[in-house]
């Protein structure tokens, strides 16, 4: 009996700095309604889906950025999304900026700020939470940059690892679901930690500038999308899983984000792709049994992985210089 779930990437067009959450939530409810009509059982919304990509804006006093964060989920503003999902029996993934009052590693309870995503089940339960681990960009204002990318200023590094949960979704009584956020997709370690927990479906939201804002060197424009798709397709192939990767796209207050949301299968094939940079729903039927081939043959981790050779991956942060070859004496 095949295990098929119909998924949707609910891509969002731009959210301007002045756009209230009521507007972005209403747009997401409309996408959820469209998804319901198309039989979609799990909808993946983008990273930071409720507001503009605010890390492009510098706030001298980081507390000024708190208006971009959610202190409760659901809240009055996001309740319509939860209500609609429950009404349709549709699960969803949502990315948002989270303020949580919890103890830090020293035991001090304080407000902590994360780039967060949640998986919500068909009855409105929060099944899983993830907090972005790989924060790109910088923490201080960078005058060289065309556009700032201040995720290191506004967010702490995620402290939940890369969890996977097996939970009911759609018509299935259990699928193995995990999450990552945006820049995480570029790091194979993130995919492999999920793969080592037998993930079958990765929900991934992103907000990615269409041009290299770092002014750190030439990068041809077409490579922006290529690198995004390459990372996701490789992650799915090498961990025998599906991914639903959903963009927030378009021009936000003059800054352009690319779309090209995709759904990828365990062979690394793109099975659906968005064609606009606006609110757009793409869907696919995912037969989770397609994960079996990879994880019982070429990526049967228990048969083929050699952790004793992988020490550098967790022992080192940055790269070290290699050993210098010396010509043997007398040669
Ligand atoms: N955005 C971008 C991303 O990783 C980036 C930042 C783009 C980093 C291109 C490196 C290269 O897709 C977020 N929000 O992580």
pTM of the shown model: 0.97
Nearest CA to ligand 1 atom 2: 208
Ligand 1 atom at minimum distance from 151 CA: 14
Q: What's the 209 CA to ligand 1 centre distance in angstroms?
A: 7
pLDDT band at 218 (very low <50, low <70, confident <90, very high): confident
For ligand 1, atom 7, name the residue with the nearest CA.
208
- Separation between Cα atoms, residue 129 and residue 94, nearest integer Å: 10
Q: Give the residue, out of 54, 133, 136, 217, with the most ligand 1 atoms within 8 A of its beta carbon, to mutate for a pocket test.
A: 136
Rounded to whole angstroms, the Cα distance separating 285 from 85 reads 19
Listed in sequence order, the residues at least 6 apart from 96 whose beta carbon sits closer than 8 Å to its beta carbon are 48, 49, 50, 70, 73, 78, 116, 117, 118
User: pLDDT, tens digit, for every residue of 154-163?
Assistant: 999 999 999 9
For tokens 């993946």, what's the residue? 44
pLDDT tens digits, residue range 244-286?
Answer: 999 999 999 999 999 999 999 999 999 999 999 999 999 999 9
Instruction: Say what the pLDDT of residue 212 is.
Output: 80
C-alpha span between 98 and 325 (Å, rounded)? 50
Q: Is the pLDDT of residue 169 over 80?
A: yes
Residue 214, pLDDT > 80, answer no
pLDDT digits (tens, 9 = 90+) for 53-95: 999 999 998 789 999 999 999 999 999 999 999 999 999 999 9
pLDDT of residue 62: 79
Query: Which one-letter DSSP state was computed for residue 159?
Result: S
Mutate to test the pocket of ligand 1, among 150, 154, 157, 182 (most ligand atoms within 8 A of CB): 182
All domains of the chain in start order, with CATH: 4-315 (3.60.110.10)
* Token duo for residue 207: 């907000």
Total Cβ atoms within 10 A of residue 63: 9
| 145 or 216: which leads in pLDDT | 145
Residue 298 φ then ψ, to 5°: -60, -35
Q: What proportion of the chain, given as a percentage, has pLDDT over 70? A: 100
Task: Give, using CA atoms, the residue closest to atom 4 of ligand 1.
Answer: 183
Pull the structure tokens for residue 227: 């690198």
Q: Which residues are catalytic?
A: 47, 132, 182
Q: What is the 3-state secondary structure (H, E, C) of 192-229?
A: HHHHCCCCCEEEEEECCECCCCCCCCCCCCHHHHHHHH
Residue from 137, 151, 183 to probe ligand 1 pocket by mutation (most atoms less than 8 Å from CB): 183
For residue 208, the CA-to-ligand 1 centroid distance in Å is 5
Task: For residue 282, give both structure tokens.
Answer: 């793409």
Cα 91 from chain centroid?
Answer: 16
Pocket of ligand 1 (CB under 6 A): 136, 182-183, 186, 206-208
Helix (H) or strand (E) holding 286: strand 280-287
What does the mean pLDDT of the chain come to? 97
Q: Distance between CA atoms of 33 and 95, rounded to whole angstroms?
A: 19
Q: Helix, strand, or coil here: 292?
A: helix
Evaluate whether 31 touches 281 at the Cβ level (below 8 Å).
yes
CB of 104 closer than 8 Å to CB of 115: no
pLDDT level of residue 104 (50, 70, 90 thresholds): very high
Confidence of residue 179 (pLDDT cuts 50, 70, 90): very high
Question: Which atom of ligand 1 sits closest to the CA of residue 48?
Answer: 14
What pLDDT is stored for residue 215 in this prediction? 65
* Rg over CA atoms, the chain: 20
């Amino acid at each position: 009996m095949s295990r098929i779930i119909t998924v949707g990437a609910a891509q969002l067009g731009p959210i301007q700095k002045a756009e209230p959450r009521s507007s972005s939530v209403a747009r997401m409810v409309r996408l959820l309604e469209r998804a319901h009509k198309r039989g979609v059982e799990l909808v993946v919304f983008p990273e930071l889906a409720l507001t503009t990509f605010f890390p492009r804006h510098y706030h001298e006093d980081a507390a000024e950025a708190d208006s971009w964060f959610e202190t409760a989920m659901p809240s009055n503003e996001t309740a319509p999304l939860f209500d609609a999902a429950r009404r349709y029996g549709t699960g969803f993934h949502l990315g948002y900026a989270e303020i949580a009052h919890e103890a830090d590693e020293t035991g001090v309870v304080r407000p902590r700020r994360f780039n967060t995503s949640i998986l919500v089940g068909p009855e409105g339960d929060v099944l899983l939470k993830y907090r972005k681990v790989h924060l790109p960009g910088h923490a201080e204002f960078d005058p060289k940059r065309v556009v700032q990318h201040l995720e290191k200023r506004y967010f702490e590094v995620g402290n939940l690892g890369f969890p996977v949960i097996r939970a009911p979704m759609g018509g299935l009584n259990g699928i193995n679901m995990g999450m990552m956020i945006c820049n995480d997709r570029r790091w194979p370690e993130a995919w492999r930690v999920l793969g080592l927990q037998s993930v079958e479906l990765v929900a991934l939201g992103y907000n990615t500038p269409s041009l290299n804002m770092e002014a750190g060197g030439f990068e041809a424009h077409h490579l922006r999308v290529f690198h995004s798709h390459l990372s996701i397709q490789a992650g799915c192939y090498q961990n025998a899983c599906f991914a639903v990767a959903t963009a927030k796209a378009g021009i936000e207050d003059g800054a352009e984000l690319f779309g090209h949301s995709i759904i990828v299968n365990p062979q690394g094939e793109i099975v659906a792709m968005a064609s606009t940079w606006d609110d757009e729903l793409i869907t696919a039927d995912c037969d989770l049994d397609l994960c079996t081939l990879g994880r019982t043959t070429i990526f049967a981790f228990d048969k083929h992985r050699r952790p004793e050779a992988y020490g550098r991956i967790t022992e080192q942060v940055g790269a070290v210089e290699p050993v210098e070859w010396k010509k043997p004496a007398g040669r």
